[in-house]
Structure 1
Amino acid sequence: MAKASEIKVGNILRYNGELVSVTEVLHRTPGKGGAFYLDKFRNIKTGKIVEARLATDEQVEICRVETTDYQYLYEEGDYMVIMDNVTYDQFSIPKSLFGTSARFLKEGMNVIVSFESEEPIMAQAPNNVELEITYSEPAVKGDTSSGALKSATTENGVEIKVPLFINQGDKVKVDTRTGEYIERVK
């Protein structure tokens, strides 16, 4: 247990029985009454923002979270199987922890997973991933305008928008957070 005055942005707390990440800490000293903290927390499971008013000496539970690099092995239903790079232990992580970036994962890719007392609470894919284009419509000559895009399918079956000069067999860099094309890889 720790005092509210020891809370820092980025800490993971157990607040009202839920795991929350601290996003903002404000110290207030009004003219009347004692000082207090106005904190903003983001619920780790739901993503909901919660505001809390804590007295300076109020007790809070700061959770110990271990964040480590793992290797993504394969998808198994609603779970992603990952392996610890040091001990070779395998874990099944709910696909929902990766969010929309789960569709860009390739076997052998490194991912970051956070555990709190043996329970996975957060998972993060790399921000950028290189994928090969397996299918794209051929561009028609004269069909160019500023920033024209066409649909293309990547090696893992995800359809993205790419510029007209991208062809089948090209490797492209894709932002896993937004699903947008970044650049062609040589």
Structure 2
Amino acid sequence: MAKMQANQMRAGMVIEFEGARYTVLKQNIMIPGKGAAVIQVEMRNIKTGAKKDQRWRTADTVERLTTEDKEFTFSYAEGDHLVLMDPETFEQTTVSKDILGDRLPFLVENMTVNVRLIEGEPVAMELPDTVTLEIVEADPVVKGQTASSSYKPAVLSNGVKTMVPPFITAGEKIVVRTEDASYLERAKG
């Protein structure tokens, strides 16, 4: 752990505050009419996911935790946990499924994921930007609907609903964004 001045906080940093660990989401320096500047920080509790707004004076110090980003390969899910493998040492690490929140369905076997560690403990996990999945269900095109007019609902092989262009049918593979399940393109090959 290292101490730093509050005005050095940046988004993505992890700090310890009142015994809990927080990821800094954004910070603004506010200069009131008179008196010292104040740093307004929006942060998220790593364990609970709850957001919190906190103010510091510029001279205040905060505890910054050292984070390390490391690539792992997702092996399999077991109960409420995900088993990851270190591609270099082949050692296994287990993390809670909660670490991914809404993006959990997009995790596929052998996917390379980026894990943010604090003192060796996994606190955040990033998926690749896109994933290729098969359409298992797609609404038929409504007569008189032009190709450009609107997307139609479809269900992906991971159970997530998305919207696809009218020409996409069940059985086709498409590329979707893991962030919001939005359609990107038809999978090649």
Which interval holds the TM-score relative to the shorter structure? 0.7 to 0.9
State yes or no: 1:8 paired with 2:10: yes
Do 1:139 and 1:165's aligned partners in 2 also have CA atoms closer than 8 Å? Answer: no
Judged with a 3 Å threshold, the aligned counterparts in structure 2 of structure 1 residues 41 and 153 are, in CA distance, closer, same or farther, namely: closer
Do 1:69 and 1:112's aligned partners in 2 also have CA atoms closer than 8 Å? Answer: yes
SS in 2 for 1:98: helix
> In 2, Cα distance between the equivalents of 1:160 and 1:62?
39
Aligned to 2:81: 79
> In 2, Cα distance between the equivalents of 1:141 and 1:27?
54
State yes or no: 1:136 paired with 2:137: yes
Do 2:153 and 2:161's aligned partners in 1 also have CA atoms closer than 8 Å? Answer: no
- Identity rate of aligned residues, in percent? 32
> Among residues 34, 37, 40, which one is paired with 1:38 in the alignment?
40
> In 2, Cα distance between the equivalents of 1:9 and 1:142?
49
> In 1, Cα distance between the equivalents of 2:53 and 2:70?
29
Q: Give the partner amino acid of 2:165.
A: P
Judged with a 3 Å threshold, the aligned counterparts in structure 2 of structure 1 residues 108 and 143 are, in CA distance, closer, same or farther, namely: farther
> In 2, Cα distance between the equivalents of 1:97 and 1:66?
16
Q: Which runs of 5+ in 2 are unaligned?
A: none
Kindly report which structure 2 residues correspond to 1:1-186, keeping only aligned pairs within 5 A, or say none: 1-22=3-24, 23-28=26-31, 30-31=33-34, 33-133=35-135, 135-137=136-138, 139=140, 142=143, 144-145=145-146, 146-154=149-157, 156-186=158-188
SS in 2 for 1:147: coil
Q: Give the TM-score of the pair, scaled to structure 2.
A: 0.82
Mean CA deviation greater in 33-42 or 85-94: 33-42
Judged with a 3 Å threshold, the aligned counterparts in structure 2 of structure 1 residues 158 and 88 are, in CA distance, closer, same or farther, namely: same
Judged with a 3 Å threshold, the aligned counterparts in structure 2 of structure 1 residues 143 and 94 are, in CA distance, closer, same or farther, namely: farther
> In 2, Cα distance between the equivalents of 1:34 and 1:137?
59
- Residue-pair matches, total: 183
Q: Give the partner amino acid of 2:99.
A: L
Q: Give the partner amino acid of 2:145.
A: T
Q: Which runs of 5+ in 1 are unaligned?
A: none
Do 1:9 and 1:25's aligned partners in 2 also have CA atoms closer than 8 Å? Answer: no
Mean CA deviation greater in 170-179 or 156-165: 156-165
Distance apart, 1:170 and its partner CA: 1.7
Do 1:78 and 1:95's aligned partners in 2 also have CA atoms closer than 8 Å? Answer: yes
> In 2, Cα distance between the equivalents of 1:70 and 1:117?
16
SS in 1 for 2:10: coil
RMSD of equivalent CA atoms: 2.4
Judged with a 3 Å threshold, the aligned counterparts in structure 2 of structure 1 residues 148 and 158 are, in CA distance, closer, same or farther, namely: closer
Deviations 1:40-88 (A, max 9, x none): 3232333333232323332211001111121111111111111112222
